[in-house]
Structure 1
Amino acid sequence: MGLKQHGIVLLLLLGLVAGAAAATEGSPPVLPHEFYGKVMIGGSAAPAGTEITATIDGVECGSVVTVEAGRYGSPDPSLGNRLIVTAAADQEGASITFLVNGRVAAGTANFTSGAVTALDLNVAAEATPTTPPGGSTGGGGGGGGKGTSGSPGSEVVYEPGAPTAPVIFTKEATLTTSTAGVLLEPVVVRTEDEVAALTIPEATTALDAGGNPLTSVTCTKVDPAEVPPAPPGATLAIALSCGPDGATFDPPISLTYTLPEDEWARIDEGLKPTVMWYNPDSGEWQEIAATVDPATRTITAEVSHFSIFALAWRSPEATPSPETEATPVPEGEPAAFPVWVIGIVIVLVIAVAAYVLMRRR
């Protein structure tokens, strides 16, 4: 085979590689957008068997029939019955209209591939025609009538429901979860003096030390005499015992300290507020990242497990960096590798092979 023929073969191979790389770099698939939440008709829970339909530009793109009164779907995906909305790639961000038993619900959402959204749906009660004197419900015939009660302006429109308000407990909270431990309603549990509180949002997976659904949580202040010694350069102010031991939360939940004015005044003295947790295995306090909000006099930290937590004060020069945890790479998922790198490697291999063949000729 001559040099010209080798060149033609090489060009053909390069074309095939380029085509394969282009195909691999195609647009990612469009995933469904899932919805769940409450569904109300006329301010009351919609009965089981209510049909909820989603449309984009007037075309149906998903529907579900409720199996329990006042709710469709759940924060726990394993319970099913969510409204699954599908759309094309060019409909990303398109407005979705929701119908409850064929009637438009107040409020919309925008299609987002792969998203899961909690959305409460509300429609007014079906209008009941009123019969004016004379037995006619019409507005014609010169009678000057205003039509039936279903005419424009006669419906009461309900705004979409806001996120479910959390149930507030003091010292101990009872959790309502699915069989997988997914919280079905948000909960706040605070100390008796309301200085500290745990906020556990809906859809949080809460498990005990044995991996079973968590049924309750506690948040109480610890007697100063029972608090482990403070680390060097720190003064422990408010210590909390959050239980049960071994409980875990995914995603992390919020621990918030709300300080009185006299305690907050320490900031003006040059001290820095920090949040720590006590590690019983190492016998040491470990600082965790926290957000300070002067407008509300609060310090908030995200926690994924229970222990003794404490608000501490440090002088600026004694403040270490908060601990950070590396994000683990899920097992079984290889690291992303750019397609163009693979293409270059293949091209180089083919070029070397062609060169070797020509040298042998």
Structure 2
Amino acid sequence: MKRTPAPRTIPILTLLIAVSLLAVPALADDGISSTIPHFFYGQVYNADGSNAPAGSIIVASVAGNPAGTITVAPAGRYGIDYGDGDKLLVWTPAIQPGDTIVFHIAGILAVESAVYESGGLTNLTLTASVTPTPSPTGGGGGGGGGSHEFFPVSTSTPSVPTMPVGQVSLPLSETGEVSESVTVRTSDSVGSLTVGKGTHARDANGNPLGEVTIEHAAGLPPIPPGATIGFALDCGPAGATFDPPITLTYTLSEEEWAKISDLSTLQVMWYNPGTGEWQEVPATVDPATRTVTAQISHFSLFALTWAAASPAEAATPAVAGAPGAQATQGEPGAEAPGDLPMTAIAIVAGIVVIAAAGFLLLRRR
């Protein structure tokens, strides 16, 4: 006669299966980014209202860093006549909901900007802010097609959009808000400021702010104990305030990044002249792009700092991205050699528990 499981079998099996299911959520916490791309499509025009020619390159950027590109095709349209995979995909490892996205059409800033939404799908018409002056071309060629000189066809990777150096004027609406997103950088591109559309920018007296400046600081107050100041930026005018906060970004070269012995100690700090102390500003570290990004609501002296290397560490060449990599989600090499990642542990644990449950069930039968 066929035996049935004893009454205690069911609770034991239930417990084993429940334990295996509890192991699965570990997959969601194993450094997987919580953001997904924002997709865009729509019409695209020159400043005079004519269609941007097919082959023009559209570049989306966040905080001065390229975040997605697409080619205009056919004329006056991008991402419309194709499947979802051919829309303008905007994403970077450091992007966060609410970040401002600016667009360039063949290197010319678009009038429109957008706010990043994880998984968003937006129909956005883009219009070049100015009509460029065509540069002389050496080759001959008959008439016609002059507009293609403004938006040359290119199959190469587009360069980083050009942006003002040192200072930039803020376009203001009648209500005193910034009417379009602007970015300004230092001459070596290490530091940059992005003021988003809709920002209330005020000077020290509370009046609408006409321009912002950024440069490397010439002199520094005493350095915080145990810290190394790599790059200090003087943002002006002093006393200016921003609502909502604007974006300050440090972008380092491979050589500069390699000098940092422990990425987990990277900080952005501002100097408070009232107290004579340095104060930390929350920041995001992204080894993949070698950037450190902070949101700031006022202007002052800002510095990128990290812990000073000990004599033993200084004697050992640093490997870019290796130490302290756990500070950024999903960064390759963040786990020490030989360590099992949480994903593998969760999978193995789930398989073992489910196999044990099946074996026990067969044995009871």
The structure having more radius of gyration, on CA atoms, is 1
Question: What TM-score do the two structures reach when normalised by structure 2?
Answer: 0.41
Question: What TM-score do the two structures reach when normalised by structure 1?
Answer: 0.42
With a CA cutoff of 8 Å and minimum separation of 6, indicate the structure with the bigger relative contact order: 2
